Amino acid sequence: MTRRGEWQPWLRDAELSLADARRNLRDGAWRVVCITGQLAVEMAAKAVIAAFAEPRWTHDPGEQLRSVLLARSDTELDAAFGPSSRAALEQLAQEASEAALWHGRATYGQRTEDGSRLAAAEVCTEEAARELLGRAERAVGAAVRLRLP
């Protein structure tokens, strides 16, 4: 059973977060790219989850998306999202879990091995920003390509 139309606000927010990440990359605002890139991935995964269930209040929807996948046959997933959709959905769950780590890093910074704290601005490098933007492009692209019910 699907929840028709419940995914639309999530996908819209994912697309807007991706646009924000792209714009801030051009401006060199690496921390903002990390924040909005992570949100784009999170929202794209929640769009897919929302087709079947209420997304949980978490920054890592990967686990819930994996649960949605485990509870459904390939036939049911293909009917809801198009042929051979399981692999794309599993990749989206992985992207969501990996990007989720950046919510805390981009907000609070990160502890180093010696226990000192790096500020979020130091953790959110150009390399990290480009990595998260790539994840966001893949996640939102996957959600858009799926035939959401």
| Pair of tokens at residue 24 | 């801030």
Q: Can you tell me the distance from the alpha carbon of 120 to that of 31, in angstroms, rounded to the nearest whole number?
A: 7
* High-pLDDT (> 70) share of the chain, %: 95
Among 44, 25, 42, which Cα is nearest to 148's?
A: 44
Lowest mean pLDDT among 11-15, 31-35, 121-125, 143-147: 143-147
Mean pLDDT of the chain: 93
Q: Can you tell me the distance from the alpha carbon of 125 to that of 56, in angstroms, rounded to the nearest whole number?
A: 29
**In the prediction, which pLDDT does 93 show?**
97
**Residue reference for tokens 């401006």:** 27
pLDDT band at 4 (very low <50, low <70, confident <90, very high): low
Average pLDDT over residues 100-107: 96
Asked whether the predicted pLDDT for residue 148 surpasses 80, the reply is: no
* Domain layout of the chain by residue ranges: 8-145
Lowest mean pLDDT among 3-12, 46-55, 67-76, 130-139: 3-12
**In the prediction, which pLDDT does 146 show?**
80
Q: What is the DSSP string of 39-58?
A: HHHHHHHHHHHHTTSPPPSS
Helix (H) or strand (E) holding 111: strand 110-111
* Chosen CATH of 8-145 out of 1.10.260.40, 1.20.120.330, 1.25.40.10, 3.30.465.10: 1.20.120.330
